[in-house]
Structure 1
Amino acid sequence: MSKHPNSDKSTNNNCHNQTLEASNNDNLKISSLYPNAELSIEDVEVLPDTIHIYARSSLSYGICPYCGSHSKKIHSRYMRHVTDLPILGRRTILHLEMRKFFCHDEDCSHKTFAEQPGTEVFRYRRRSRRCEVLVSKLSLDSSAGKSSSHLRIMGIPISRATVLRDIHRMPLPVYPDIDRIGVDDWAFRKGVSYGSVIVNLRTGMIIDLLGNREEETFREWLDRHIKVQIVSRDRSTDYSAAVASTKRLIKEVADHFHLVKNASDMIARVVSENYEDYRMLVMGERKTNDISNGTNVQRQAKFNQVKILQAKGMSKGEIVKATGIFYTTVQSYMDITSLPARKSNAQVDFSMHEAYVETEYAKGRPLSKIFKDINKDGSYKSMGPYYRHFHYLSDGHRGPRKTEEQHVQAKRVAEVSHKEPLLPIHMMANIINRSVRGMKLNGQEDTLIRKLLSLKWFSTLYYAVSEFNELLKSNNPRRLTKWIEEYRHTSIERLRRFVDGVNRDLKAVMNCIVLPISNGIVEGFVNKIKEVKRCMYGRAGLELLKRKLILEPLLFQLN
C-alpha cells in the first residue's frame, strides 16, 4: 500500500521542525561551555579527528577598546580560527565570525575597531584562554620540547619556539614592599659558576635569581629594595659585606643549620688531625711494639741526618748524594718539621685456629680447603698470612709451640680487637656530633665517648661544641659572648678558628639565637633549582629559569 503524498510531505515538515528545534537546543547547551565569552554557537561539525565549532558574538553592538563607546554600525566581517582544548580526544577548533565597527567618538584615535567578545578569547591570539592556561602550566613544569610533544598529542599543535616565546612574554612580579628575605648561592656549574637565590621569608616563595654571588650584585639588588629589614643568610662573607655596604640598619641572621654544620665539620677535622691518639687509646700495645721496632729507630736517624744537612743549606740533590737516601724521601723529609708515625697494618692472628687446622691437615685435607672452612664469614681477606702462619705443616717442621697461657692471651687480644675495631674518621665524627647534640647513643658509642674524654684535646672540643649547641637553643645571646671568651685562646687551632669566625659574625649569630628565622626554606629551593635544571637538560638560561621558578607557584599552586 502506497502512502498519500500529502501525508508524506507533512511528516517530513514535522521531522524537519523537530531537527531544527533539537539543533537549537544543542547549540544552547554548547554555548554554555563558554559562559564568559558572549558567544552564540551557530553550528558544530564533528569529524573523525577534529571538532569544528562555528560561533559569533551574541551582542548586537561592539565596544571600542580604545575609548569605550558603543557602536552598532558594522564596517566589515572576518573569520578567526582559535584552537581550544580537545574534546573526547579530538582536536577542537573554534571558528569565530568577527565584526568590525565604526567608532562614532570624534575624540577617539581609531575610526574602526574589531569586537572582542567576553574574556575567553584573547586579542591577537590563536588559542582560547583555557588553552593558554594549559600551555603555560605545561611550559613552566617541563622543558619546551616535552611541552610541545605533550600538547601535540592532545591536539594543540605548538612548536618549542612558541612555548619559549609564551614564557618570556609573561611579566615577572615586582616586590617593592619586601622586608624579609633569605639568600643563598646555587650552582650553574658546580665548582665553576654560581648564582644567588632570594626568597621572601613571609610567603616562602622565590622572588628573584641573580647571575652570580658577588658582593656588588647583591648590594645593587638591596639598593633597589630599600624596605628590606632582615636578611637571613649562610656564613658567606660576600653577602655580609653587601649588607654592610648599604649603610642601612638591616638585621643579618646567620642560619642555624650552617652554624651546626660548621661545628660538625670542625669536629671531623680535629678528629682527623688527632686520630693517632685515638688509635693509641684503643690499640696501645700495637703502638708500643711499633715504636720499639728497630726499623723506626733507623727511620728516625735518617730523618735527623736529612734535617741536619738541610740546616747547613745543602740542596736536595746534594743531600741525596751525601746520604744515599732516595730523592722522594729526602724531599718529603725536608717539607716537614717532625717525623710522623709510620702507618702499619695489623697482623692477622690465626692462633685460635691452630688446633682445627692441624687436625684437618692430619686427615689429608689441603690447606686451601681448610682455609675456606675457617673463613666462611669472610673475615680474612688474603690467604698469604694464612700460609705463612701454617708453613710448618707443609714443610715438615713443626716449629716452636705456644704455651696454653699464650693461647689464652692471643684469644683475649682477638676478642678485644673484634669488640673494639678502629672506627673510620667519618663514623667517629658522626657519633661525636650526635653526642654533642644530646641525641641518644647505644652502649658501644657511649663507651667510645667516655674513653675519648680521657684525652685532653677531645674533652675541650667536646664540651665547647656541646655548650655551643645548647646556647643556640637558649634564646640568651649573652651566653655566646661568655663562650667566646672562654674558648678563643684554646690550644686547639681548628676550634680557635671556629670561635674567631663566630666572633667576627657576632651580631648575625646573636640574631640567630633571638629571632625565629631560618634559612632552611632557601636551601630547599636550591634543591628545586637543581631539579628544574635537570628537567631542562642543563640548558636553562637565567631569565628562563627565573620565570619557571617564580611564575609556576605564583600562577598555579596557590589557586
Structure 2
Amino acid sequence: MLFPELAVGVEGVLEDGDGLRIQLVSAAAEAFCPSCSALSRGTHGWCRRRLKDVAILGRSDLLELRFCRFVCIENDCSRRTFREQIPGLARRWARRTERVTSMIAGFGFLAARRAGSRLLESAGIRISRDTVLRVVMSLALPFEQAQAVGEPVPAVLGVDDVAIRKGHSYATIIIDATTHRPLDLLPDRLSEPLATWLRAHPGVAIACRGGSNACAEAIRDDAPEAVQVNDRWHLWRGLGEAVEKVVTAHAACWRSAAGQTLKAPPKNKVCAATVLAERTAERHRMAHDLLAQGLSMMECRRRLGWGLNTVNRYARAATAQELQKPPRYRATLVDPYRDHLRRRLIEEPTVALTHLLAEIREQRYPGSANLLFRYINQGRLDLEHPPARPRKVTSWMMTDPTNLGAHDALRLKEVLDLCPDLNQSAFLIAQFAHMMMNRTSEKLTAWMDAAEALGQSALKSFVTGLRQDQGAVTAALSLEHSNGPTEGTNTKIKLLKRQIYGRAGFPLLRQRILLN
C-alpha cells in the first residue's frame, strides 16, 4: 500500500517521538554493477540507509532501508563490491525519497524560497529555504532535455521582450508558438543575445514577434530563411494611437454643437482655454512664417528659443486647430442636474443664475454658486450630450459596429457627420479590420496609399512604420500564426515576477518561467 511500485517489503513500523519509523528491506536478489553493467547475484553483506519520506496522517515519516551489497563477478572490473540502488525510491547519496524531492520542487516552484519552506513545514517536511531553492534550481529544463536527446528546434517561434524591472532591465522570452511552451529566457532585449541563440538553434521556419527592431534585426541576420510575422495586436494598437491623434486634431469639428445650442450667461472674465488657444495660434503662425522664408528647423529653433521637437510639432500641423486639444473636464457636483439646467435654459434663456441655483438646491444640490457658474461659463451645457473625450470617440471608431450599443452608435454617427476627415478615417479602419479578419494582405499597399492620401500626419507616421516592416506586416495579415501566445506567456511572467520581486535574481526567475 505504501510502496506499490518498489521491490521492498515492510518489516515493521515503530513510533519515533512525534513521527513514525518504517523499517524496509529490499526484495531484490540480483543487481547490475554500475561500472561494468554485469549482473551479479552474489551478496557480500547488508547496508542500512535512512531516508526522509512524506508525512503520514500529519506525522513525519522516516524510512530505515536495509539493502544488499553485491560482489561484482567480473575480475577486471574496478569495483569489487557495490551497493544496490532501488530505482524510484531515492537517488544515490540522497537523504530523502524521490516523492519528497518532487513535493519540495512543487512547493518551491509555486511559492519560491521562504514561503515554500513554510508551506512544506505545515505538510510535515521541515527543510530550510536554501534547500528549497537548490531543489528548484536543480530541476532539468524541458527544452534542454529535448535538445539533449536530439529533438529539433520548433519550426514556429514566438519572441517578445519582457520587463524584469520596467524602465530599467528587460529580457527576451522565446516560446514554441504551436505548443505555447517556453523555450528560453535571454538576459537582455538587445539583438546580440537573440542572434547567439538563433545561431545555436538553427531550423526556425517562422518567427512571430512584436514591433521590436532588435528582434527583427537578429532574425534577419541569423535566421534569414525564417518568415517574420508581426504581431496583429500591436498593429491594431498602433492604428488606434494614430486615430486618436487624428480625433484630437479635429476636436473642433466633432465637438460642434449637435442639436439646439444655448447662449451662456455673460462671462465676467476671459476663459483660460481661450487664452491657450490664442497662444497656440500665435506660436503656429510664428513657426510657419519662418519656415516660409526657407529657414531650416535648427535655425527656427535658434530664433524662437524652442526645443527642436516643439518646432517639428508646429511644423507638421497644417492648422493651429490640430494642436489645440479639447478641454478635459472632470466629474463635478453639477453633473446630476445637467438635464434640468439645460431644459430651463432652453425654455427661458434669460433666467438668472440665482434662480437656477435655488431650483437645483431644492433638488439637494450640495455645491456652491461659483461651481455652478464655472460649469455654465465653460460651455458644458451647450451640447445636447456631455462632450465625449477623444479616447472615447476613438474607442467607438475602433469597435466593430455590430458590437456597438445603440446609444454609442448614434453618438458616433453624429461625430462622423460633423467631420468628413473622421468619416474617411473610420472607413480606413473598417478596411484594415477586414484585412486582419479575412487575411487579405494583397490590399495592404492600396490601403497604405489611401491612408497617406488622407493627409493626416499621424496616419502618415503609422504608414511609414508599416512600409519599413512591410514583409512582417504582410505575413501577419496573411498567415494564421500570431504573437498572441507569447503575450499570454508574458502575462504569466508578470505573476511569477511579482511573487519573488526583490527576493531573487534572474536565474531563479528564468528557472520558474521555463518550468511553468
Answer yes or no: is the 8 Å Cα contact 1:280–1:287 preserved in 2: no
* Pair 1:150-2:119 in alignment: yes
- Normalising by structure 2, we get a TM-score of 0.78
CA deviation digits over 1:374-408, x for unaligned, max 9?
454x7xx532266899xxxxxxxxxxxxxxxxxxx
Q: 1:429 aligns with which of 394, 401, 422?
A: 394
Cross-structure match for 1:36: 5
Cross-structure match for 2:295: none
Cross-structure match for 1:93: 62
- What letter matches 1:273 in structure 2? A
* Pair 1:230-2:195 in alignment: no
Going from structure 1 to structure 2, the CA distance change for 1:343 and 1:515 (only over 3 Å counts) comes to closer
Cross-structure match for 2:361: 372
Equivalents in 1 of 2:137, 2:279: separation in Å? 70
* Pair 1:352-2:344 in alignment: yes
How far residue 84 of structure 1 moved from its aligned partner, in angstroms, is 0.9
Equivalents in 2 of 1:507, 1:208: separation in Å? 26
Cross-structure match for 1:501: 465
* Pair 1:445-2:431 in alignment: no
CA deviation digits over 1:185-228, x for unaligned, max 9?
11101122111111101211111111111111111111111110
SS at match of 1:280: coil
Equivalents in 1 of 2:286, 2:61: separation in Å? 88
Cross-structure match for 1:49: 18
* Pair 1:519-2:483 in alignment: yes
Aligned 1:486-497 pairs, distance under 5 A: 486-497=450-461
How far residue 492 of structure 1 moved from its aligned partner, in angstroms, is 0.4
CA deviation digits over 1:309-352, x for unaligned, max 9?
x98xxxxxxx9xxxxxxx99xxx99x968877698899997993
CA deviation digits over 1:454-491, x for unaligned, max 9?
42321232222221111222333221122123333431
Equivalents in 2 of 1:101, 1:50: separation in Å? 32
Going from structure 1 to structure 2, the CA distance change for 1:187 and 1:156 (only over 3 Å counts) comes to same
Q: 2:237 aligns with which of 245, 250, 261?
A: 261
Aligned 1:105-116 pairs, distance under 5 A: 105-116=74-85
Equivalents in 2 of 1:465, 1:67: separation in Å? 72
Answer yes or no: is the 8 Å Cα contact 2:281–2:320 preserved in 1: no
Going from structure 1 to structure 2, the CA distance change for 1:479 and 1:307 (only over 3 Å counts) comes to closer
Equivalents in 1 of 2:363, 2:405: separation in Å? 34
Cross-structure match for 2:294: none
Equivalents in 1 of 2:503, 2:130: separation in Å? 14
Name stretches of at least 5 consecutive residues in structure 1 with no aligned partner. Answer: 1-31, 312-318, 320-326, 390-409, 553-559
CA deviation digits over 1:410-435, x for unaligned, max 9?
9xx99863x32211122111111115
How far residue 178 of structure 1 moved from its aligned partner, in angstroms, is 1.7
- What letter matches 2:403 in structure 1? M
* Pair 1:66-2:35 in alignment: yes
Answer yes or no: is the 8 Å Cα contact 1:488–1:500 preserved in 2: no
Name stretches of at least 5 consecutive residues in structure 2 with no aligned partner. Answer: 291-302
Going from structure 1 to structure 2, the CA distance change for 1:343 and 1:169 (only over 3 Å counts) comes to closer
How far residue 282 of structure 1 moved from its aligned partner, in angstroms, is 4.5
Equivalents in 1 of 2:280, 2:487: separation in Å? 54
Equivalents in 1 of 2:280, 2:442: separation in Å? 54
- 276-285 vs 478-487, which moves further: 276-285
Cross-structure match for 1:456: 420
CA deviation digits over 1:495-536, x for unaligned, max 9?
111112112222212212221112111111111001111222
Cross-structure match for 2:447: 483
Cross-structure match for 2:86: 117
SS at match of 1:432: helix
CA deviation digits over 1:33-91, x for unaligned, max 9?
22332212111113562011011211234432222223354445442110111111111
SS at match of 2:477: helix
SS at match of 2:162: strand
Equivalents in 1 of 2:479, 2:281: separation in Å? 60
- Normalising by structure 1, we get a TM-score of 0.73
* Pair 1:250-2:236 in alignment: no
Aligned 1:191-210 pairs, distance under 5 A: 191-210=167-186
What is the aligned length?
467
Equivalents in 1 of 2:231, 2:368: separation in Å? 49
Equivalents in 1 of 2:374, 2:497: separation in Å? 58
Identity rate, percent? 25
Cross-structure match for 1:541: 505
Equivalents in 1 of 2:419, 2:370: separation in Å? 37
Cross-structure match for 1:17: none
Answer yes or no: is the 8 Å Cα contact 1:432–1:449 preserved in 2: no
Cross-structure match for 1:510: 474
Task: Select the structure of larger CA radius of gyration.
Answer: 1
- What letter matches 2:370 in structure 1? G
